[in-house]
């Protein structure tokens, strides 16, 4: 099983939106997928509430068990891919999500505040990975909620690139993502021809290529 962990020091950058939409696209490509919701806010679990997603979203809070037990519970999922959605912050859940990951995804919004948070998050990740000699996890950043019509939106990939990790294709600021959450669906299923679905597919291609899996 491959584990993708989505982490960010800053809240509201689109972690859960990315987790659910990527999961739906991987499912559409025939993978057995589970989203592990490690956020006490339980947004991913709420997304699955209307029971329209065709993959499981399971709550697995680190706080209610030891970190070792949490890691075991994530790794025992019967799936090809587990996507771990975490709360904002760089505490215990963040560290556990890094420990279990094959690929660490750091979404970053378009503002300078977002960029600062991404920089700090990457620095925390790099010291955590350095202190774990066994870790072979890869790290990528993904611009999220960007307006590609505006200069800030066009510059974000370049600025993220300067932070030293691979940068995935962006997810635009698009009401389709908001609607998908409200309706308990994923953009690739509910609106497969939408620009949002096109970019989710492009990001999925990129993730699979980083993992050296066939796209
Ligand atoms: N690409 C996007 N375009 C427009 N709105 C978006 C996009 N991505 C996320 N949003 C909206 O932004 C808000 C925050 O997104 P989301 O919950 O995915 O972020 P998060 O990083 O998981 O937040 P938290 O830190 O609270 O867990 C939600 O209302 C969501 O619908
Ligand atoms: Mg979230």
In which band, very low, low, confident or very high, does the pLDDT at 142 lie, cut at 50, 70 and 90? very high
Give the domains, in start order, of the chain with CATH numbers. 2-210 (3.40.50.300)
- By alpha-carbon position, which residue is closest to atom 16 of ligand 1? 14
Measured from the CB, is residue 168 less than 6 Å from ligand 1?
no
In which band, very low, low, confident or very high, does the pLDDT at 45 lie, cut at 50, 70 and 90? very high
Mean pLDDT value across the chain: 95
Token representation of residue 150? 């505006």
Which of 120, 116, 70 is CA-nearest to residue 92?
70
Q: Output the pLDDT for position 173.
A: 97
Please report how the helices 175-183 and 15-28 are oriented relative to each other, as an axis angle in degrees rounded to 10.
80
Strand duo 81-85 + 2-6: pairing: parallel
Mean pLDDT within 122-131: 94
Residue 96 clears pLDDT 80, i.e. is over it: yes
Tokens 């800030």 identify what position? 152
The ligand 1 atom at the shortest distance from the C-alpha of residue 180 is 31
Q: Output the pLDDT for position 214.
A: 82
- By alpha-carbon position, which residue is closest to atom 11 of ligand 1? 178
- In this structure, what is the dihedral angle of CA atoms 17, 100, 25, 43, given to the nearest 10 degrees? -30
Distance 109 CA to ligand 2 centre (A): 14
Backbone angles phi, psi at 21, to 5 degrees: -75, -35
In which band, very low, low, confident or very high, does the pLDDT at 177 lie, cut at 50, 70 and 90? very high
């Amino acid at each position: 099983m491959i584990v993708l962990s989505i982490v960010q020091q800053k809240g509201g950058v689109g972690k859960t939106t990315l987790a659910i939409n990527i999961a739906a696209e991987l499912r559409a490509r025939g993978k057995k997928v589970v989203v592990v919701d490690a956020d006490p806010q339980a947004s991913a679990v709420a997304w699955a509430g209307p029971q329209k997603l065709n993959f499981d979203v399971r709550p697995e809070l680190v706080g209610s068990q030891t970190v070792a037990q949490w890691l075991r519970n994530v790794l025992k999922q019967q799936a090809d891919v587990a996507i771990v959605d975490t709360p904002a912050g760089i505490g215990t859940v963040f560290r556990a999500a890094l420990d279990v990951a094959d690929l660490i995804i750091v979404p970053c919004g378009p503002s300078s505040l977002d960029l600062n948070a991404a920089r700090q998050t990457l620095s925390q990740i790099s010291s955590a990975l350095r202190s774990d000699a066994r870790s072979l996890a890869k790290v990528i950043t993904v611009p999220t909620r960007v307006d590609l019509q505006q200069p800030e939106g066009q510059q974000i990939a370049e600025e993220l690139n300067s932070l030293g990790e691979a940068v995935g294709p962006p997810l635009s600021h698009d009401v389709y993502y908001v609607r998908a959450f409200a309706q308990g669906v994923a953009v690739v299923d509910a609106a497969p021809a939408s620009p949002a679905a096109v970019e989710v597919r492009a990001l999925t291609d990129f993730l699979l290529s980083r993992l050296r899996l066939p796209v």
